[in-house]
């Protein structure tokens, strides 16, 4: 069936390219004529496949392949959603109907397990815990299934009930519970609080419906608790609603200010967005944290506040998504999320960092082609590459061994064992991994023979192969053996050596088990490099004002 998929996708991709080329050759051929001609070609190819291909061809599947093939050559954000796909609704609202739990695949069990039950959800109500191994959903064995398949089984209409069978680590007898699905609201603000004396902190994870109202509420609460300045954390926030972004900017700037405008092919897609209300905190010193995963609406908020010299932006360069999507209804209750234009922030710049060539390839805009724009105070900003922070946070390089380790089943299983043996841990703000906890961690990993892919092993093999190819191996054998001995894998030694890198991940995993994501954020904020820089700027009014007035050196 892969052959069918290739043929159909190629046919529709060719159709798309034909449409593009026809636009450039209107003098020789009418655009509508080209459209009709290529549509007839595609229709004929599909009919031939349906009649003559050796295997039975599903119309729904084959045409979906063709649609996906065509859209894959446009840009990553133009997507088709059939009537039975609720992903678009979930992205817009942050809601779905299910049990409220993150799941993951466990290689050792060859099954999906519970990764994290959300607070106040059906999964928590029936007592599910991280590490529980799912056996069946309504008597259907899920062995060998991937998380996406199991997710589709766990979700459904709110109010419907099903039986879930699972085994808890450390036990041999299966457990069974009946769970009633209900609407799950993923919080757009997983945590807010006073991070320091006089400094409030709000972590905004997504721009879903109603998030601006939640930010307003959090800001009011923080000011009542004594906040004189604010850190708004948009790191890893991939965006969402433009209207919510405008309303959040409006909390800090005056009514009637143009925050963003869009330009597209059709006049109907050209829009201007203005603030509509009096601001809640027009003079509150503000720092916005961003990183490479801050995109779309996050860039509208951070970029607009930067262009108006209303906030200091701290972190690393943002993703660079300056394209706007709209939803169009499709026959049979489907929906098409289609890129209709580009957006421009107050300085007039578009921060789109990628050019999508309609052959599936992508390239970034080189610095030499990025144009200069100016903020309200005359600071230089540029287009074509995301939002460049006013203050850069240098990120630490994570050793590859640590990355492999924290992604392993053994790391997750150790945390599950720890929770089974400890009913509680200290509050997130004071919890630390002690020597005894880390010693227990090392023993578990050594006994379980945890594996991790050390790049030194790979490079040593390459060095040996190249030395042999070039005739140096015999002469260098003694030195190579000595180097291999020095670099030999020693799990206990490696874990001791990497302790300072591993401990933060252990703390995050354990705190998540007991206090969920909000607990992790409470724990991390005081020692977070981005927050420390932000707090240093907010605690130095002269520096803060100099940055925004173009006087910083």
Residue 130 CA to residue 510 CA, distance in Å, equals 11
**Strand bridging mode 182-185 / 95-98:** antiparallel
Residue 6, C-beta contacts closer than 8 angstroms, at least 6 positions apart: none
What is the DSSP code string of 318-356? Answer: -----EEEEEEEETTTEEEEEEEEEEE-TTS-----EEE
CA 485 – CA 319 distance, rounded (Å):
43
Report which DSSP code applies to 131: T
As given in the structure block, the two tokens for residue 92 are: 């817009």
Q: How far apart are the first and last CA of the chain?
A: 62
| Active-site annotation holds for 500 | no
Q: Could you give the angle at the alpha carbon of 168 between the alpha carbons of 165 and 173, nearest 5°?
A: 70
Give me 469's structure tokens: 């190819």
How many Cα atoms occupy the beta-carbon half-sphere of 434 within 13 Å? 6
Cα 436 to its chain centre, rounded Å, is 35
User: Token pair for residue 202?
Assistant: 């709000």
Catalytic member of 205, 296, 302, 347: 296
Buried b (16+ CB within 10 A) or exposed e, 520-531: bbbbbbeebebb
Marked catalytic residue, from 132, 233, 247, 307: 307
Q: Among 165, 189, 182, 186, which Cα is nearest to 114's?
A: 165
Residue 465 is among the residues annotated as catalytic for this protein: no
For residues 344 and 381, the answer to whether their CB atoms sit within 8 Å is no
Query: How many Å apart are CA 260 and CA 6, to the nearest integer?
Result: 41
Determine which one of 123, 205, 233, 321 is catalytic: 321
**Can 493 be counted among the known catalytic residues?**
no
Contact 286, 544 (CB under 8 A): no
Q: What is the DSSP string of 250-274?
A: HTTS-TT-EEEEEEESSGGG-EEEE
What residues act catalytically? 296, 307, 321
């Amino acid at each position: 069936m892969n052959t069918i998929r290739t043929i159909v996708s190629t046919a529709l991709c060719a159709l798309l390219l034909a449409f593009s080329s026809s636009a450039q050759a209107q003098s020789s051929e009418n655009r509508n004529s080209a459209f009709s001609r290529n549509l007839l070609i595609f229709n004929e190819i599909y009919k031939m496949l349906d009649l003559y291909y050796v295997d039975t061809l599903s119309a729904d599947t084959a045409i979906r392949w063709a649609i996906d093939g065509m859209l894959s050559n446009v840009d990553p954000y133009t997507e088709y959603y059939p009537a039975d796909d609720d992903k678009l609704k979930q992205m817009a609202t942050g809601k779905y109907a299910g049990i409220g739990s993150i799941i993951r695949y466990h290689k050792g069990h060859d099954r999906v397990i519970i990764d994290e039950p959300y607070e106040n959800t059906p999964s928590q109500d029936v007592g599910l815990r991280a590490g529980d191994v799912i056996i069946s959903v309504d008597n259907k064995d899920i062995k060998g299934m991937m998380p996406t398949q199991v997710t589709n089984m766990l979700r459904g209409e709110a109010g419907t009930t099903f039986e879930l069978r699972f085994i808890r680590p450390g036990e041999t007898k299966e457990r069974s519970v009946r769970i009633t699905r209900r609407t799950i609201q993923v919080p757009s603000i997983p945590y807010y609080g006073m991070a320091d004396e006089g400094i409030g902190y709000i972590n905004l994870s997504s721009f879903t419906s109603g998030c601006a109202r939640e930010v307003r509420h959090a800001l009011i609460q923080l000011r009542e608790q004594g906040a004189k300045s604010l850190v708004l954390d948009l790191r890893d926030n991939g965006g969402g609603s433009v209207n919510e972004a405008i309303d959040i900017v409006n909390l800090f700037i005056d009514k009637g200010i143009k925050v963003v405008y869009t330009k597209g092919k059709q006049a109907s897609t050209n829009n201007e967005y203005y603030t509509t209300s009096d601001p809640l905190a027009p003079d509150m010193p503000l720092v916005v944290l961003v990183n490479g995963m801050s995109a779309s609406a996050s860039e509208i908020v951070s970029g607009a506040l930067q262009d108006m010299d209303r906030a200091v932006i701290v972190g690393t360069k943002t993703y660079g998504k300056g394209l706007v999507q709209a939803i169009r209804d499709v026959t049979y209750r489907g929906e098409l999320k289609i890129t209709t234009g580009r957006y421009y922030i107050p300085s007039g710049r578009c921060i789109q960092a990628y050019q999508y060539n309609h052959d599936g390839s992508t390239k970034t805009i080189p610095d030499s082609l990025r144009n200069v724009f100016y903020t309200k105070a005359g600071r230089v900003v540029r287009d074509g590459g995301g939002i460049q922070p006013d203050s850069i946070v240098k990120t630490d390089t994570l050793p590859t061994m640590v990355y492999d380790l924290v992604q392993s089943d053994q790391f997750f299983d150790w945390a599950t064992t720890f929770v089974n043996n400890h009913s509680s841990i200290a509050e997130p703000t004071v919890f630390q991994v002690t020597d005894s906890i880390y010693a227990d961690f090392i023993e578990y990993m050594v006994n379980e023979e945890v594996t991790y892919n050390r790049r030194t092993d790979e490079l040593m093999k390459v060095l040996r192969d190249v030395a042999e190819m070039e005739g140096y191996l015999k002469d260098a054998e003694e030195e190579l053996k000595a180097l291999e001995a020095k670099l030999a894998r020693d799990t206990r030694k490696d874990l001791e050596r990497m302790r300072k890198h591993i401990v933060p991940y252990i703390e995050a995993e354990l705190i998540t088990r007991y206090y969920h994501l909000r607990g992790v954020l409470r724990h991390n904020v005081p020692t977070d490099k981005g927050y420390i820089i932000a707090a240093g700027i907010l605690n130095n009014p002269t520096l803060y004002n100099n940055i925004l007035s173009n006087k910083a050196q």
